[in-house]
Amino acid sequence: MRINKFDLLRLRNDAHFQFHTEVRDLILKSAAVLARIKQQFDAYELLYAQVDDALKKIRKSAITEQIWEADKARIKIFTGLSAKCRAAQKHFDPKVVEAARQVKIVFDTYGRIAKKPLNEKTSAIYNILQELKGKHAKNIALIGVSEWTKELRERNLVFNGLVKARFDESAAKSDVVLKEARKELDKKYRIIIERVNALVIVDGAENYETFVRTLNVIVKKYAKF
């Protein structure tokens, strides 16, 4: 019986912090385990607090709030544009249906935009708009969504401007602190699981079975993120 491993680096900041929060809570609830890893856990707690502090500083940024709102606004427009193009495939005019079919290929090429990370959304929306206002300009006009594409372009530009504004000196420092603190926190976590895995061998699996099984459930959940 061993604690499973997975790549913590690929977790986004919020998921990464939530993972460690669940691990920390589990350790605190497992008195017998905590007693055997107290030194390692104390070091882990210090790094956990640093990550928490860095995340709070980033979240408190007024521009960060504006970024999330701007993202919601552009995705709302994108979703509406996509829906109108889909609906046009049922139009009575065969020319409109064909235009909608060709535009659908563009949307399908870039997949589910709303599920992508923020920077990937910006790039994908930009590329889609380039295609729509380029070789598909006539199709867009025929479907009747030219104004939607203009609005989406404006929303994407607003979002991109906010992202650039966010990276001022203080925000950049917080990002650096968070990145380094994440690395160190992960190191402390790995030390803990190595310690517990060793204790399983030395003390016997039955003494740590509940803890290991529960932690592996948490690992499995976040490995899917």
Q: Which residues are CB-contacts of 54 (< 8 A; sequence separation ≥ 6)?
A: 174, 177, 178, 181
Read off the pLDDT of residues 124-133 as tens digits, 9 standing for 90 and up: 999 999 999 9
Q: Is 92 helix (H, G, I), strand (E, B) or coil?
A: coil
Read off the pLDDT of residues 100-126 as tens digits, 9 standing for 90 and up: 999 999 999 988 888 888 888 999 999
Domain boundaries along the sequence of the chain: 8-60+169-223, 62-166
Range 163-187 average pLDDT = 78
For residues 78 and 36, what is the distance between their CA atoms, to the nearest angstrom?
53
Long-range contacts of 92-99, Cβ-Cβ distance < 8 Å, separation of 24 or more: 95/142, 96/142, 96/143, 99/138, 99/139, 99/140, 99/142, 99/143
Angle at 19 between CA 16 and CA 25, to 5 degrees: 140
pTM above 0.85, yes or no: no
| Angle of helix 169-203 versus helix 209-223 axis, rounded to 10 | 140
CB 132 within 8 Å of CB 27: no
pLDDT value at position 182? 93
